[in-house]
Amino acid sequence: MFDKAFKPFVNKQLLKRIRDPVDQCISHHLSLVKEHFPDEKVHIFYDYEMLPNRKPKFLAQTAAHVSGAAYYYQRKDVKCDPWGEKKIYGVCIHPQYGGWFAIRAILIFPEIQVPFLEQYAPVDCVTTEERRIQLLEKFNFHWQDWSYRDIIEVKERYSEEQKTYFATPPAERFKLLGLQGGMQRSEFY
Over 50: is that where the pLDDT of 187 sits? no
pLDDT band for position 175 (cuts 50, 70, 90): confident
The CA distance from 133 to 65, in Å, is 19
Which of helix, strand or coil describes residue 4?
helix
The share of the chain scoring above pLDDT 90, in percent, equals 80
Over 60: is that where the pLDDT of 128 sits? yes
The CA distance from 90 to 98, in Å, is 14
Q: Tell me what pLDDT residue 15 has.
A: 62
Which of helix, strand or coil describes residue 74?
coil
According to DSSP, the β-strands at 71-73 and 43-46 are unpaired
The CA distance from 181 to 183, in Å, is 6
Among 51, 46, 88, 76, which Cα is nearest to 63's? 46
Over 60: is that where the pLDDT of 183 sits? no
147-166 residue pLDDT tens: 999 999 999 999 999 999 99
32-90 residue pLDDT tens: 999 999 999 999 999 999 999 999 999 999 999 999 999 999 999 999 999 999 999 99
Q: Tell me what pLDDT residue 18 has.
A: 53
- By CB atoms closer than 10 A (0-12, 13-18, 19+), residue 53 is exposed
* pTM (2 d.p.): 0.87
- Our separate counts of H helices and E strands in the chain read 6, 4
The CA R_g of the chain, rounded to the nearest whole Å, is 19
- What is the arithmetic mean of pLDDT over 3-23? 79
Over 50: is that where the pLDDT of 189 sits? no
According to DSSP, the β-strands at 71-73 and 91-93 are antiparallel
Over 70: is that where the pLDDT of 181 sits? no
- 71 forms beta bridges with 93
